Chains A and B, each alone.
Chain A
């Protein structure tokens, strides 16, 4: 069965600083990988996804993530954080379980942005 670890529960960065959120997954084959963002009181919005091919994927809102098979990681990055990026971020892995593509979420990283 697949699993996802987000080791940082809470991260604080200054506005304009760079950001990296960590995600490690466990799955035997190449998984489908996702990053979602949840703003307060909102549902989850897909930031980006990786299925195959180029290991550096670009998403919305200026985010990117890099798939590193050797490290089983899919870290999310942004070069310059804006105050509106304050939210909770979830990494997720999708994999075939029987005939179903199951998505398993990490426990989330809450991002605080300070002036």
Chain B
């Protein structure tokens, strides 16, 4: 079954404590993205990756890092989380051509930073 798997699904943590949200896809997609969803703002792209070792900033990258060492994995790293990063996060993957395979989303990770 085609899947994008995020872990953890829920996390409550404190300001400044480094955390990593993992994302893995089994569709051999080239593209992967991270979004955050906030009420009234929709989904905003944090970072994206076009292939292994190729990443770039999206619209709201401040405070986040990513890496793409393997095609299937695209972890999101918060080195020093702050309360304004409390949000619902989604990982998505797609083929290089959206006409072939549009974005497929994970179930989301709800982060609360106290």
| Chain A residues near B (Cβ < 8 Å) | 6, 9, 32, 34, 36, 41-46, 49, 51, 90, 94, 99-108
Contacts and interface: CB of A to CB of B under 8 A. Distances in A.
Interface string B99-114: 1001111111000000
> Which A-B residue pairs are the 5 nearest by beta carbons?
A107-B42, A43-B105, A105-B43, A44-B105, A43-B107
A51 B33 CA distance: 21
A49 B105 contact: no
B108 A99 contact: no
Interface string B68-97: 000000000000000000000010101011
B12 interface: no
Contacts of A32: 98-99, 102
Nearest to B106: A43
Contacts of B50: 99-100
B107 A107 contact: no
Interface residues of B, number: 27
Interface of B: 4, 31, 33, 35, 40-45, 48, 50, 56, 90, 92, 94, 96-99, 102-108
B112 to A, nearest CB: 15
Given A44-B92, A108-B42, 19 more contacts: A6-B42, A9-B40, A32-B99, A41-B108, A42-B107, A43-B106, A44-B43, A45-B105, A46-B104, A49-B98, A49-B102, A94-B102, A99-B50, A100-B31, A101-B96, A102-B45, A102-B48, A105-B35, A105-B42
Given A32-B98, A101-B98, A102-B45, A107 B40 contact: yes
A2 to B, nearest CB: 12
